[in-house]
A and B are shown apart, each in its own frame.
Chain A
Amino acid sequence: MTRYLARRLAHALVVTLCVTAVVFVLLHMLPGGPVRASLPINATPAQVAELTRQYGYDRPLHVQYGTWMWNLLRGDLGFSPQLNMPVRDAITERLPKTMTLMVLGIGASLLIGVPMGIYQAARRYQRSDYLLTGATFLSYAAPVFFVGLLLIDLLAVSFRVFPAGAPQGDSVAEILSQPNALVLPVATFAFCGFAQWSRFIRSATMDNLVQDYVRTARSIGASERQVLWVHVTRNSLITIVTLLGLHLPTLFAGAVIVETVFNYPGMGLMFWQAAQNHDYPILLGVVLFGTILTIVGSILADIGYAVLDPRVRLTA
């Protein structure tokens, strides 16, 4: 386990280094170079020259990379002139709100997807199974933004049940204090997510139903209900943990789009606005940050899997 972890961490470190190099190259590929990127559009040539010297952009590239990495290690991701705040502060302000949205969205999609998958496995190859499979096909094919628009059109414009805009505010508490406005963004997330869980749980349950422990459980008199919803489900759920860790990139994609549709003040909306305004320090900072989160997520997924399932032994 320790050896495995050490190897995984070393691997993660190499990947992170690669990504920083890529981001650094991108920073220098930007139109006008990194200085133009961090200045307003109407900056004078004198200002550009001044900043170039100040930030050391006239020095050789490897020296610059070293300095940049050193700043990165100290947690300095650069400064966004357009938001007039350090990139790090911008991210730490927005991230908790995005996390809130993602957690609620995943929670809702699991609540729909998991029971649905188990039910489908129990009714496999019957009409109800095929019907629900059709529903998952729809969910796979429906782009997140179209679902969001549909929900707004139906539930906010035609029938004024929920507001079309997401809750606004600076803190998670403020966001959570407007549950009415949270419904549509979370529902969009849930609709686009439940299919993968239900497909996954369906096949995991079907695999588990032919295992020896199920026969044992039946032979000692467990009811079918108990076998299915207790013994099998516990084993099927373990692998969901792994899946959750590996799904961070998909979740980020969902967050960016849901936040854009509903104007939810999270990291995704900030990223999108930065792309519109060519605010490169924010763009690159979020890319780097998202990547590190993804790597951490996949490591946590592996560890979680081993902790939850004693049959799994991680070996280097």
Chain B
Amino acid sequence: MTIRRRPTLRGRDQAAKPEMVSEVDATLTGPPNGQRPEPVSGTWRRFLRHPMALVGLAVIAALVAFSFLGPLVYRTDQVHADLAQSMLPPSADHPLGTTDAGYDVLGRLMVGGQASLAVGFAAALLSVIFGTLYGAVAGYLGGVVDDVMMRVVDAVLSIPPIFVLILLSAIFHPDPTVMIFIIAAFSWLGVARLVRGETLTLRTREFVQQVKMIGGGPVRCVVRHIVPNAVGTIVVKATFEVADSILVLAGLGFLGLGIQPPDTDWGGMLSNGLAYLQNGAWWLIYPPGIAIMLTVVAFNFVGDSLRDTFETRLLRR
């Protein structure tokens, strides 16, 4: 077994290297370093150069179209049970079969996808907004405030989320809005830590010092200068957060504690499939399971590509 040495072992892939060089050039000739985020078009172009990003984006677009536009084309009744049509295997009438309550599985996959995607996006958005503000304020103010704020984060982080998620779902009647808040209640913590770390380095940079010197208040510093400069980190984290939120929602749905029937999400569909697995009803588990995996892989592809694009120091995967 031979081990070939490469000059840089830390580079994630070789394709990214020429771009790194050109980027250095751009910062040397461009406006003063760190003054404002790079023009969006340049970032966008570098992002699209990753083949994985394109695949991920295409899959996400397809899943969104499938879930939200699909029901307009493929009309099914997902509200009223029809026991005459119960547990049919896939056929021409029902391409993916029917459930125990007689719902068409393909149609249900669309309805469930709406809930999974919408709740996933919304929970990620909520946690990123709150976590960003929390982390930026803690990092910017520093001192005792920072200490107290981060100890709170530590305290919540040491509670195993699964238990509290289940507890909260058992206490509150879980509809999609409640689920968004329950999921976000835990996922903002990681964002807050990340943004705080970023803020700690940003606040000592010259451009922030200059804003302070010419009389900019703390709100202006955080909102106009620190958060925009941490946007790469935040966007990457947000992408992974969507995937995680969909997984958490699916997990709770699987445990029967998610969105309640007749509404459903992909996890709830799997939970329904568990009861009939022994009867060989494979069509109840494969469609939602594969849908979940596709979504999560797609968001991870996009997140990975974004991380390479922004070259953030995010430690994940």
Contacts and interface: CB of A to CB of B under 8 A. Distances in A.
B14 interface: yes
A157 B278 contact: yes
A287 B159 CA distance: 7
A70 interface: no
B264 to A, nearest CB: 15
Interface residues of A, number: 60
| Chain A at the B interface: SS class | helix
A254 B162 CA distance: 9
A141 to B, nearest CB: 4
B9 A145 contact: no
A75 to B, nearest CB: 19
A233 B158 CA distance: 30
Contacts of A227: 3
B277 A164 contact: yes
A275 B277 contact: no
A206 B3 CA distance: 11
A230 interface: no
B162 A143 contact: no
Contacts of B5: 209-210
A284 interface: yes
Contact of A228 (B1, B10, B169, B255): B1
Given A224-B1, A253-B251, A257-B255, A125 B13 contact: yes
Given A275-B170, A287-B163, A143 B250 contact: yes
A140 B293 CA distance: 9
Contacts of B162: 249, 252-253, 256
Contacts of A122: 1, 3
A14 interface: yes
A260 B293 contact: no
A294 interface: yes
Given A146-B293, A257-B251, 5 more contacts: A125-B6, A140-B300, A153-B277, A228-B3, A294-B159
22 contacts: A15-B154, A18-B152, A18-B155, A19-B159, A122-B1, A125-B14, A138-B293, A138-B297, A143-B293, A143-B296, A150-B285, A157-B280, A206-B9, A249-B162, A252-B163, A256-B162, A256-B163, A257-B251, A275-B166, A287-B159, A290-B159, A295-B158
